[in-house]
């Protein structure tokens, strides 16, 4: 048996750090501040280039199309941004849902 089970349909969507972005927190590690979230980007949402100074980010596209440096990526794409590395801008062509993990507190610079 798994030690932790999260049912996404029982978790609420919350406002994300940018307009057009919502987060559904599936797990929060109280010791590290790390998060596992579903992220929903409304169609046309653009997230400016940014840095996560204290955490690594892993994002896996579950649905929709994401534009990164004029290249369109779809479901099955995995992105990794090491802490301190500038990444973006990102743009959602339609609604995009990703499973995203941050291994420390979600801070943005």
Please give the pLDDT value at position 83: 96
| Strands of the 46-47 sheet, one edge to the other | 46-47, 90-92, 66-68, 71-73
- Measured CA distances, 64 to 8, 12, 59, 73, 93 (Å): 18, 21, 13, 9, 7
List, for residues 4-30, the tens digit of each pLDDT value. 999 999 999 999 999 999 999 999 999
- Residue among 46, 61, 51 at smallest CA distance from 81: 51
Ordered structural domains, the chain, with CATH: 21-102 (2.60.120.10)
List, for residues 46-102, the tens digit of each pLDDT value. 999 999 999 999 999 999 999 998 999 999 999 999 999 999 999 999 999 999 999
Bridge pairing between strands 35-41 and 14-15: unpaired
Please give the pLDDT value at position 76: 98
List, for residues 33-47, the tens digit of each pLDDT value. 999 999 999 999 999
- Residue among 91, 90, 83 at smallest CA distance from 109: 83
- Residue among 17, 47, 20, 48 at smallest CA distance from 35: 17
- pTM, 2 dp: 0.92
Chain CA centroid to CA 66, Å: 12
């Amino acid at each position: 048996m798994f030690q932790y089970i999260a049912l996404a349909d029982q978790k609420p969507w919350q406002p994300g750090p940018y307009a057009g972005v919502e987060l559904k927190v599936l797990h929060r590690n109280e010791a590290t501040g790390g998060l596992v979230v579903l992220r929903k980007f409304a169609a046309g949402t653009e997230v400016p280039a940014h840095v996560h100074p204290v955490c690594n980010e892993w994002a896996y596209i579950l649905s929709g199309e994401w534009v990164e440096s004029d290249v369109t990526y779809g479901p099955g794409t995995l992105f990794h941004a090491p802490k301190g590395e500038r990444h973006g801008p990102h743009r959602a062509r339609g609604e995009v849902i990703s499973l995203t993990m941050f291994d420390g507190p979600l801070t943005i610079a």
